[in-house]
Amino acid sequence: MKTLVEPIKKGLQKSLHLLWLLIKIIVPVSCLVAILDYYGFVELIAGFFTPAMALFGLPGEATIALLLSFFVNFYAALGVIATMNLSSQQITVLAVMIGICHELPVETVICSYTGLRIPVSAALRLFTALLAGLILNLIYNLILGGV
């Protein structure tokens, strides 16, 4: 029985540590976005980026989530996404774009160890994320009629 208790105890400790890490990122980012929204900054940002984000079938506010995921981390973007009212189509497009191009500064440095130059790696990942978002939105709209 003792051999079973130790792994469970370690697993719970690791889970609580990870949960605390996520709370420290997601809650402050969500609060910051709520404050920015209250004072009209989110609407200002959204209005500026709405035409570009429409290509992906996303609202202008999704720009904040994309930028946070590209330059900070996935969990900061998750904090923003949690404050948004998105359809399943929009969440899918946004998730694919984030999955391809998350944590751009860190991962481009990692890719540089393979011999790929940093600007090329960053441009490739960014272009691929944008192209994937565009194609996925087109698929939703043309084939499925925009779910």
- Write down the pLDDT at residue 59: 94
In angstroms, the CA 6 to CA 50 distance is 52
Asked if pLDDT for residue 139 goes beyond 90, the answer is yes
Q: What is the mean pLDDT of residues 133-145?
A: 91
pLDDT digits 0-9 by tens, 27-39: 787 788 778 878 8
User: Tokens at residue 81, please?
Assistant: 């996404």
CB 55 within 8 A of CB 93: no
SS3 call for 66: helix
Domain boundaries, the chain: 26-142
Q: b/e string for 40-49 if b means 16 or more Cβ within 10 A? A: eebeebbeeb
In angstroms, the CA 66 to CA 83 distance is 14
Asked if pLDDT for residue 110 goes beyond 70, the answer is yes
Higher-confidence position of 97 and 113: 97
Asked if pLDDT for residue 1 goes beyond 70, the answer is no
Q: What is the mean pLDDT of residues 105-113?
A: 84
In angstroms, the CA 112 to CA 39 distance is 41
pTM of the model: 0.75
